[in-house]
Amino acid sequence: MLDQTTSPNMQRAKGRAHLGFVARAGKTTLMDLHQSGCVKAMLPRNHAPVMDGVLINTAGGVTGGDQLQYSATLGDDTTLCLTTQTAERIYQSSSGHGTIKTDFSVGANATFDWIPQETILFNQSALKRNMTVTMDASSSVMLMESIVLGRRAMGETLNSCFLSDQWRVMRSGKMAYADALRISDPNALNTPATLGGNRAFTTLVYIAPDAEARRNQMQQMLNFDDVKTGVSAWNGCLVTRFIARDAQPLRKALIATLTQFRNAPLPRVWHM
């Protein structure tokens, strides 16, 4: 075919990891593990009451055309904290956009925390990310995404990038929360209504039977000199937003907030 637009020789990273858990005699147990391509999953021993799962993109980043898929199924009464091994780097894309698809299914009375490390957007990167969560109204789910626009500490500035991040959470059959983030021009993010020139931000969502009751607890934890925050609770969702000048102060604030709110240390990869 002479008119095809993509070269068959282009190296594109593809990877998929799926984890399935059930509760057996009160203990969360891995039942199903699938990993292929550049994505791996690990369950490091942590001597903690809650199991940690760690997802690894061995391709070392995402560029145009890459396709990553992460998914987990948590049975009734299971507990899992899932994170990523390191920050995900979204590199310059020569054509098209990278895609990351994340799907979680959470059964009754289960507790699931998805607290990946930050996503760093490099110049001329392009990423479309979709996360869907199906949960039971009796379960507790924490979802977080952090975005860093370039690495200011390294003297990098971001002139162009594209990011679309779509979250959809179905709770006992009804859409409970949706988030749609879209960055089409990083130069437009210097104004007060957007990021005011800040370069790092996080959305943290906790959906649980006690989410609204814990609003004030969260509010009292949010006390940082160098990170701006806001919190609000409605319809069974507790939403907290963070904005910081750069990745470091944001990370510090997140570690403090998550450790206190979850009343548990973060998975070890967060401290490496």
Partner 1 sequence: MGMGAHIAMSTNSAHKLLAWLSPSYPIGAYSYSHGLEYAIDAGDVHDAHSLQIWLSDVLQYGAGRNDAILLAHAYRADGDALTELCDLAIALSPSAERHLETTAQGAAFAKVTSAITGHDISAMPLPVALGVAARREDVPLNDLIPLYLHSFAANIIAAGVRFIPLGQTDGQRVLHALFDQIDDIAKQAETASLDDLGSACFWSDIASMKHENMTTRIFRT
Q: Which is nearer to partner 1, 55 or 244 (CB)?
A: 244
Q: Which is nearer to partner 1, 48 or 188 (CB)?
A: 188
* Residue with Cβ nearer partner 1 (44 or 197): 197
Residue type for 84, please?
T
Distance of closest approach, residue 191 Cβ to partner 1, in angstroms: 5
Closer residue to partner 1 (CB): 80 or 208:
208
Please spell the DSSP secondary structure of 126-184, one letter per residue. Answer: EEEEEEEEEE-TTSEEEEEEEEEES-GGGT-----EEEEEEEEEEETTEEEEEEEEEES
Nearest Cα neighbor of 247 from 124, 161, 118 is 118
Considering the complex, what minimum distance in angstroms separates the CB of residue 173 from partner 1?
A: 10
Please say which residue, 32 or 226, places its beta carbon nearer to partner 1. 226
Put residue 261 in one of left, alpha, beta given phi > 0 → left and psi -120 to 50 → alpha: alpha
Residue (94 or 216) nearer to partner 1, CB: 216
Positions that interact with partner 1 (CB under 8 A):
164-166, 168-169, 174-184, 188-189, 191-196, 201, 219, 228-235, 239, 241, 243
Smallest distance from the beta carbon of 187 to partner 1, in angstroms? Answer: 11
CB of 242 to partner 1, least distance (A): 9
Best CA proximity match to 97, nearest among 118, 67, 69, 70 = 67
Helices (H) and strands (E) in the chain, counts: 2, 17
Q: How many residues does the chain have?
A: 272
Cα dist. 39→15, 21, 51, 88, 125 in Å? 5, 19, 20, 12, 20
Q: What is the smallest separation between the CB atom of 12 and partner 1, expressed in angstroms?
A: 21
How many CA atoms lie less than 13 Å away from 232 in the CB half-sphere? Answer: 6
Q: Which is nearer to partner 1, 229 or 257 (CB)?
A: 229
Report the C-alpha gap between 251 and 20 in whole angstroms.
Answer: 29
State CA 30 to chain mean position distance.
22
Q: Write down the least CB distance from residue 194 to partner 1, Å.
A: 5
In the numeric block, the tokens 């070890």 are attached to 268
Shortest distance, CB of residue 30 to partner 1, whole angstroms? 32
